[in-house]
Structure 1
């Protein structure tokens, strides 16, 4: 009888340990590429995250620009479902439509319902608390126990934040104002507070740095660290993409020696800002360890999209369907996650919300388009039962622009720059197929497409030749049909085999 009682006690204890919800830390950078080797300048990130966790070789975003991509991360939805189409309020970015449709259904709100104490630190959405949005710093989005949100877009100095609804203004003193470090200090304080006051409640942290977004302003100690380096001279660098859509073929003049130096300088500064980010990661991990949380915490490192630096003469931007802009770093470490491991399975920004909920033991809402990565992280996902392709959407700003063939001026976006694309990654089909449109209507109507691009990436890694004219019409028809289904999908219908 005594043995039976002992077994019952042990079983109860084991069940309680199994049911314990882990802490989750999500660190997201702004505009960090992976294809142009930005991770290579962060050696401490390698030792702290990649060697201690799993690196996703095929991590992507579903929209290559800030506000729509961040909206997808926060909601787990494709752009056509959360309807934040661009960075402007008029296109949904932190507009009233965002608040009415989405703010009650974001990571913060769901993790709070799952029993978590939540903290947000850094950049939210581009127009947060700016006058056009219709709200000010007093608006704290629902679901956040602690709110430290940047007003507007990424900056390193001379900015304001909403500190739990109260305006806090910062200047240009490095020790007090450098935004990456300020975010770091706020995040560390949140962990320390969790240790001292909320040890029985799990916590979720969303840590959003400005780096390496323009203006890429390095911390003083890192200024000129890469003074002798240049931007990667890839096969697509300073390449005339005359067979591509009009924004590149007609709106992007060839770079000069002067503009190439501008690109090199931007690249150096971007890398230098990322050194402060790895300091942030290091100190967050050290604080987790000192507080006794490290063994019960998942840490995710990600970016809102990639970036290009001189590819197809585009001096420095995103907004294109090519891998430089949609492929991002995603590294995860935590209990049960393999160390110094890589996975080929596709991970998307829309997968993060369902992953966090799954790790928390909470139900995933039916209207979420993404899929939980938990089984991938735990090596329990069969590759042949996972996605092999996904949708990329981009909706142009809808504003007119004149094409000025001035080497100092290149067109990264303006009217008639909307596309949808299928990015496929499977044996024998590592491809990108994109349809472009003459207007910026949302949602798109595939019948109005007036330009297409296709790349066999196994043969053309840097997507230099648009080979759509060589594509078998039957295969193109299949891709169009696949696109048609994707742009109408919602919830589980987006989990297409």
Structure 2
């Protein structure tokens, strides 16, 4: 962390009609200065921001057929990002990156497993909602927060730093029979239709809009839905199977939706030949009929559960419209990570550095007054979840600093130059993907880092699971795929995961060198002061 006295920020300009918000921000000796011409024309209030995040929704599930309201209301006038990835494809690390703007090696959360999660988050009081409060926002959280949040709390209903209104679920992934902290008060829900978690979270979100929209202060509403994450069944007759089956649970009114839907069968599904893959994956058996049928059932239940999320987007959007705030409210829709539905023979789970886990939906609907004359409708440059906090701060005119002056150096960039087509954006961008876990669990890998560009993904696995001991063991197994010529990642250019089988080329040497730099990077050159002599992330 760095104090305001030493924290230099140069965010991209955010267009506000004829005015500009937050051109160059420079924190020096506790005083923040901005371009006087821009500051004088700043509007009376920055935008409201509504961020809605699904849980384990894949990019392939975010379609017009599955989520028509989301696509019609947000994507029709907003921007759809075609190459948005999460830098660690698991729930808690991804959510930590969202509220810090940092890679996992800087915020400390590498895994959602036992002994990991929220307790590992570094500087818990220096996060996005705290920064937004300091920028004059009311901050509201609804839904799932971060894994193991309550582990070290004296009271499991305690509110996390930075939230003015806290309506947060506490009972793991459950669609019924769960508990919720309502601003510190424990509320329990049962197994009636009205207790269905997506309905409850939608009701809480709409109520928050109605409460905070009339206030002079703007609001930041973060809605973290549970769907389409799988959950152990807790109601008879549930979607997909008996009480012990783990499927997403749709709203009762959506139970029969997508009952005949076919799960995707891309070329990577039940991959015929995995001899090119690293050794720790080559023993994965092909999926038999029963496993393929199970995957199809999971897919159908996930789609049906997303119907409730889509309906929720529509209701929240309508509440904002009814409050007269639509013209000054930014909507962001995304997911924390993807899920495998049989690709590369992998049934369920995430984490592994393949596109099905990494690539996520991202839609940003920017009102006209914030577009500076227009907005790009489709954006194909590589971007990541570490870019969301800088973007939100850019819109809010805030800084990644506590009121006491301690600042967090973010690794991501504001997406406003891409959204408006104005301002600097790097021609080529290397994004880091990383994961660490003390045990292999179901992922088989324990520690990897990689580079993800518009065309290439290159990964080094440093520790994998030993199938005999069940423990992690050191190794060096590598993967490299050309995403343009091989979008389904069927042909590992480092055949068999052997470092010696990688192409001997200048490009390979650059990838290896860039990866070593990114593994310890911090901040953005030209915007941030160097942190402890470490390399920049970009």
The normalised TM-score by structure 1 is 0.86
1:460 matched residue in structure 2: 486
2-structure distance, mates of 1:213, 1:166 = 26
How far apart are residue 139 of structure 1 and its match? 1.8
1-structure distance, mates of 2:65, 2:450 = 29
How far apart are residue 39 of structure 1 and its match? 5.8
- Whether 1:187 aligns to 2:205 is yes
Aligned pairs for 1:313-392 within 5 A: 313-335=345-367, 336-337=370-371, 338=374, 341-364=377-400, 365=407, 367-383=409-425, 385-392=426-433
- Whether 1:235 aligns to 2:267 is yes
In the alignment of these two chains, the number of paired residues is 453
How far apart are residue 301 of structure 1 and its match? 0.2
Q: Tell me if structure 2 keeps the 8 A contact 1:387–1:495.
A: no
1:112 matched residue in structure 2: 133
- Whether 1:297 aligns to 2:317 is no
Which whole-Å deviations, capped at 9, do the CAs of 1:58-86 have from their partners, x for residues lacking one? 11100001111111111111000111121
1-structure distance, mates of 2:183, 2:166 = 5
Consecutive unaligned residues in structure 1, runs of 5 or more: 1-11, 402-411, 441-447
Change (3 A) 1:135 1:16: farther
1-structure distance, mates of 2:45, 2:451 = 39
Which whole-Å deviations, capped at 9, do the CAs of 1:72-118 have from their partners, x for residues lacking one? 11111100011112113523x121x43xx332111111111111000
- Equivalent of residue 59 in structure 1, options 84, 106, 110: 84
How far apart are residue 377 of structure 1 and its match? 1.8
Consecutive unaligned residues in structure 2, runs of 5 or more: 1-36, 232-247, 401-406, 466-473, 495-500, 526-534
Q: Tell me if structure 1 keeps the 8 A contact 2:448–2:463.
A: no
Change (3 A) 1:86 1:42: same
Stretches (4+) displaced over 6 A: none
2-structure distance, mates of 1:134, 1:487 = 31
Change (3 A) 1:466 1:439: closer
The normalised TM-score by structure 2 is 0.80
**RMSD between superposed Cα atoms in Å:** 2.3
How far apart are residue 232 of structure 1 and its match? 0.3
Which whole-Å deviations, capped at 9, do the CAs of 1:270-323 have from their partners, x for residues lacking one? 001111111111011101011011101100001101222010111122111111
- Whether 1:206 aligns to 2:222 is yes
- Equivalent of residue 419 in structure 1, options 448, 457, 461: 448
Which whole-Å deviations, capped at 9, do the CAs of 1:457-483 have from their partners, x for residues lacking one? 111110011111352243222211101
1:8 matched residue in structure 2: none
1-structure distance, mates of 2:415, 2:435 = 24
2:303 matched residue in structure 1: 271
1-structure distance, mates of 2:129, 2:153 = 21
Q: For 1:276, what is the secondary structure of its paired residue?
A: helix
